[in-house]
Chains A and B, each alone.
Chain A
Amino acid sequence: MLGYITKIRTISERLLKEGKVDMIIGFRKGTVPMMNEPCCVKSLENVKELVWDSNCGINLTNYLTDRKEKIGIIAKGCDSRNIVTHLIENKIKRDRLVIIGVPCKGMIDRHKIASMFEKEIKEVVEEENKIIVRGDNFEKIFKKAEVLQENCAICIHRNPVIYDELVADLVEEQKNVDRYENVRRIEAMLVEEKGDYFDNLLSACIRCYACRNACPLCYCPTCFVDESRPQWLGKSIDPSDIKTFHFLRAFHCAGRCTDCGACERACPMGIKVRAFTKKLEKDCFELYGWEAGMSLDERPPLDTYRPDDPDLGIL
């Protein structure tokens, strides 16, 4: 994926020069290991800031919501599916977008890598399929597959589903992937075990809402947790309020979530918040044969009614 940078810059430069777009939304190099910063490039001299590597796990579609400019956006598979969802939900217009598709080979899990070392990680370098982690007096080399974000390891839509430009040949999609192993493990738990599991999962939550705010689906002008007239939810760190937030947020994403993993990546406490959305993604797949953001021509399952819809989908 490292070779993508030149192509991304060439395409971006051309689009800006030809006036096809007012800005390019992409990533620039971060100031700490395993982080890049989403950025907006408007002038030719800043095109060189654009980078691409395995630390681009934030979903850039989040930055498109309700924008009116002509935008060139760098989109990996999941980002492109969220663009489709945005188009279906009228959050952006297709004719305002030039989608620069990135065939993705997965993003690395910053939480997982950080937790493997007691010492401070000072540098993480990437070579094709290799991730080299360095600090004072240590170096460890991983195969990239060993340190992928969980959602990337089980991703079957690495290629963008919608694009105007492509930065490289499409990559081979992963096959024979068990996408729902984690969900099945939780489903198999007894009711009390599930309760404990979720209590424990959320025990570190500080209600910063990074998960919600990193999510391109969460664009409500006022989120239900922020609504004060009437106020639906308490504001403290009471565990039942915290759980209500996470469960309801996940339900709001049912049939829309592309499992891009931005929520989990964003969480400062390293909480595996995909446990919620993944279950609903699985349900939508099993009940309606639906995968979000794959086509502009089909309405999402929670947006339509068919007489043969299974009753299980009704709460």
Chain B
Amino acid sequence: MKVIKIDKKIWAGGLEKLKGSYRLFGPVKDNEFHNFKRLDKGKLPDFNYFNTRLSPKSIIYPQSEVMFEYSLDEGKVDHHIMKEMDMDYSSRAVIGIRPCDASAFLLVKRNFDTPQYKDPYWVKAYEATTFVGLACNNPCSTCFCTTAGCGPFHEEGLDLLLVDAGDYYFAKTISSKGENLLKSAGWDTEIDAGKQIKTMKQEAEARIRSSVATDKLKNKTTTDLFDAPFWEEVAFACINCGTCTYVCPTCWCFDIQDEVNGYSGIRMRNWDSCMFPIFTLHASGHNPRNTKMQRVRQRFMHKLKYYVDKHGDGIQCVGCGRCIRLCPVNIDIRSVCDLMNSYGNED
């Protein structure tokens, strides 16, 4: 794979050039923390960050997304007809996404883009996007990506991987989308940096101190795990807020809502969370997950067992550590994963 050397002196200029053909998004420090925001003219991404507070999933899958609008005014010919919103699916690029977050989109893709069902909004937005990763030279102590199917220099899900090497970036091309972006920016100085990148990768991986064991999850009997006695204890502290869900790059659930103001209405979808009691509330009034313990169990069983069984390709988690850092009551997915992986007899 080709590696391009980008001198940091020409970095800002290249990005400005890109803004002619892409809508750019990048990490920006706002309030006390970084989040992905639109990079308007003159605005540069700020790479002095570990990871953003929220995952960049909202760039593809906004927290609230209006899908249709309609009129209830019977005087209008097209009343009560849902009309698709004009969406902007022009090319966009995410600059400086961490490899774990880019990899998360591939897990989410399994939900939104299947041979049977394609979510048009997610698929179009995803296809319109070029992902320019920023390798993690200094991962956090809560990062466990290397045991969650990716790593600080992981390339799957990325079109280009930037490696910060002091006065310049190495840009490793991973796909044709990535190559096109380099061309648009006018970055074209090829360099043979394969060895250097490999060394930096090994060093970064060695800095990951946190891990989960997932090897036995697949062979556990689902009902055994479901009925395991540890759930009450795991769930005790949980306050059933949506923090873990909303900061997670791999949580994908949504709720569809109609909102009407006067005669005009919209149909939108909003992120939802399995931590909320109304998530599973039936119209009959019955709620199959009526207790906190059932909801907490669902979150972990989905990520660490049902998903594992359904796709046979690891857990539904990339090890970004956001839920660990931000849970108000310190519920730690690493501990829960270990409890599940080591539960009962090996079979």
Contact = CB atoms under 8 A, between A and B. Distances in A.
Contact of A270 (B33, B233, B332): B33
B239 A37 contact: no
Interface string B241-283: 1110111000000010101000000001010010011100100
Interface in A189-227: 204, 206-210, 212-214, 222, 226
B324 A32 contact: yes
A206 B64 CA distance: 10
B67 interface: no
A244 B240 CA distance: 21
A31 B330 contact: yes
A51 B33 CA distance: 30
A267 B53 CA distance: 12
A262 to B, nearest CB: 8
Contact of A208 (B30, B241, B257, B335): B241
A50 interface: no
Interface string A14-38: 0000000000000000111001111
Interface string B45-84: 0001010011000000001100000000000000000000
B329 A58 contact: yes
B239 A31 contact: no
A262 B236 CA distance: 17
A268 B326 contact: yes
A210 B63 contact: no
B243 A208 contact: yes
B237 interface: yes
Given A204-B31, A236-B259, A214 B239 contact: yes
**Most-contacted residue by chain B among A40, A58, A206 (CB, 10 A):** A206
Interface string B320-347: 0000111011111011000000000000
Interface residues of B, number: 44
Contact of B330 (A36, A63, A207, A237): A36
A311 to B, nearest CB: 34
A94 B142 CA distance: 41
A59 B277 CA distance: 21
A213 to B, nearest CB: 4
A213 B275 CA distance: 11
Interface in B64-123: 64
Contacts of B236: 38-40, 63
Given A32-B325, A226-B277, A236-B257, A209 B141 contact: no
Contacts of B239: 62, 210, 213-214, 266
B53 A37 contact: no
Interface in A228-284: 228, 234-238, 265-270
Interface in A146-162: none
Contact of A32 (B142, B257, B268): B142
B212 interface: no
Interface string B22-44: 00000000111100000000000
B330 A30 contact: yes
A236 B268 CA distance: 8
B174 interface: no
A118 interface: yes
A115 interface: yes
A93 interface: no
B141 A118 contact: no
A37 B259 contact: no
Contacts of A70: none
A209 to B, nearest CB: 5
B329 A269 contact: no
Nearest to A229: B283
Interface hub of B54, B141, B330, B331 (most chain A Cβ within 10 A): B330
B328 A58 contact: yes
Contact of A210 (B50, B241, B255, B334): B241
9 contacts: A63-B236, A114-B32, A206-B242, A208-B246, A214-B328, A237-B63, A237-B270, A268-B246, A270-B32
A-B interface, 9 closest residue pairs, ranked by CB to CB distance from nearest: A266-B328, A236-B64, A210-B241, A208-B242, A213-B239, A268-B326, A115-B32, A35-B330, A37-B330
Interface of B: 30-33, 48, 50, 53-54, 63-64, 140-142, 233, 236-237, 239-243, 245-247, 255, 257, 259, 268, 270, 273, 276-278, 281, 324-326, 328-332, 334-335
Interface of A: 30-32, 35-40, 58, 62-63, 111, 114-115, 118, 120, 122, 204, 206-210, 212-214, 222, 226, 228, 234-238, 265-270
Given A208-B245, A236-B64, A270-B31, 12 more contacts: A32-B141, A32-B330, A58-B328, A63-B236, A206-B63, A206-B242, A210-B241, A226-B278, A235-B257, A265-B328, A268-B53, A268-B328
